[in-house]
Each structure stands twice: as structure tokens, then as C-alpha cells.
Amino acid sequence: MTLERLYTPWRLAYVTGAAKSSACVFCAALANEDADPLIVFRGSTCFVILNLFPYNNGHLMVVPNRHIATLVDARPDELEDMMATTRLSEMALRETFNPEGINVGINLGKAAGAGILEHLHVHLVPRWTGDTNFMTVIGQTRVLPQELPVTGERLRPVFDRLAHGGAAGNGSRNGVTESTK
């Protein structure tokens, strides 16, 4: 039997800790043009970014533009836009990847599992039956079938169409106020 190798060079910064910085990763992404391939949608008070270290293919985060840590810190318009953008993200993920389910969640505080404590964000993780396999359980490694820039290229036009009134099902506008680059 031959030992197979799975090369994942994009994970090196994560596993070595080199990816850690004192700057807020979300604020940096919003201000940095190099992060544009990861940002799939920009709304009036929040944006949608691919998770750099995804749990599954299509793992997105809805993030307020303003640097806030909790729901209590959010203004009513930010909360409304965050929920509408989370809904838009669900629609885009369903259309693009046809998952069997989607985990949606917010982790507030380290004890709750938050990896980025200082900037509120909502995770959306597409799920399929059997998507956790021996690689994750035994090897502590996730196998993703698509590179992040390709995932972004697939999602961006779907977000754009849905945000401009091409919502699946009823064809109505979904309530998200968007701004394009």
C-alpha cells in the first residue's frame, strides 16, 4: 500500500501561528484590496467574506463594517442588515452549492468558541451528509474540493443577482441595501 500525500500549503500560516496579528482581520480585510477575492458581497452596514480557514467548502461569514464585538453593540440598522445579509448568504449558498443543510451561528466570547473575539460575525457553513470523515476525525485535516478564489468567483455573481432583485422563489428584493465596488 502506498502512502498518499495531501498538500495544503495555504494552511501553513494557520498551523504555525503566523496568521495571527494584533490587527482585526475583518477591519484589515475591509481596508485591503488584496482581500477582495475573499469578499463576495458588500452591503450598506456589513459584508460577506469567505472564511480563510473554512470548515467546509463555501464557509462564509457575515461581518459588520463597523468594529463591534457583540450584538448589544450593534445599532438596529446593523442588526437588520446583518440578518438580511445572512438570509441572502443562505440563498446564495443553496443556489451555488446545493447543500443538504447549513449551520448558521454566532460565537460570542472565547468560551463560546469565538476565534476572533473583537469583531462580531455570523458563520454560515454548508453541510452535506458524510462531510466529516476520517481526515477530520483522525488527521485533524479538512479536505476542501475547491480553492477559496474559485469559491469566491462562483458566489460573487449569485450574490450580485440576488441582491439586485433576482431572489430565488418569489423574485422580490430581499431587503439588503448593497453597494458594489
User: What is the CATH classification number for the domain harbouring 42?
Assistant: 3.30.428.10
pLDDT confidence of residue 173: 37
pLDDT tens column, 1-42: 565 555 566 556 656 665 556 789 999 999 888 778 899 999
pLDDT tens column, 89-121: 999 999 999 999 999 999 999 999 888 999 999
Angle at which helices 148-163 and 76-97 cross, to 10°: 120
Split into its structural domains, the chain has a count of 1
d(CA 144, CA 102): 16
CB neighbours (10 Å) of residue 103? 13
pLDDT confidence of residue 130: 77
Task: Check if the beta carbon of residue 173 is closer than 8 Å to that of residue 165.
Answer: yes
pLDDT tens column, 48-91: 999 988 888 899 999 999 999 999 999 999 999 999 999 999 99
Q: Which residue among the candidates 59, 67, 119, 121 is catalytic per the annotation? A: 121
pLDDT confidence of residue 69: 95
d(CA 176, CA 116): 25
Which neighbouring-strand residues pair with 103? 125
Q: Is 10 a domain residue?
A: no
Q: Which domain holds residue 43?
A: 24-163
Higher pLDDT, 60 or 171: 60
Assigned C-alpha cell, 58: 463555501
d(CA 72, CA 119): 12
d(CA 155, CA 150): 9
Q: What is the pTM of this model?
A: 0.76
Q: Is 157 a domain residue?
A: yes
Q: Is 168 a domain residue?
A: no
Higher pLDDT, 63 or 131: 63
Residue 143: which region, alpha, beta or left (left: phi > 0; alpha: psi -120 to 50)? beta
Higher pLDDT, 17 or 155: 155
Q: Is 16 a domain residue?
A: no
Q: Is 17 a domain residue?
A: no
Task: Check if the beta carbon of residue 104 is closer than 8 Å to that of residue 124.
Answer: yes
pLDDT confidence of residue 8: 62
Q: Is 121 a catalytic residue?
A: yes
Q: What are phi and psi of 83, to 5 degrees?
A: -70, -40
Q: Is 103 a domain residue?
A: yes
Burial of 4 by CB count in 10 Å (0-12 exposed, 13-18 middle, 19+ buried)? exposed
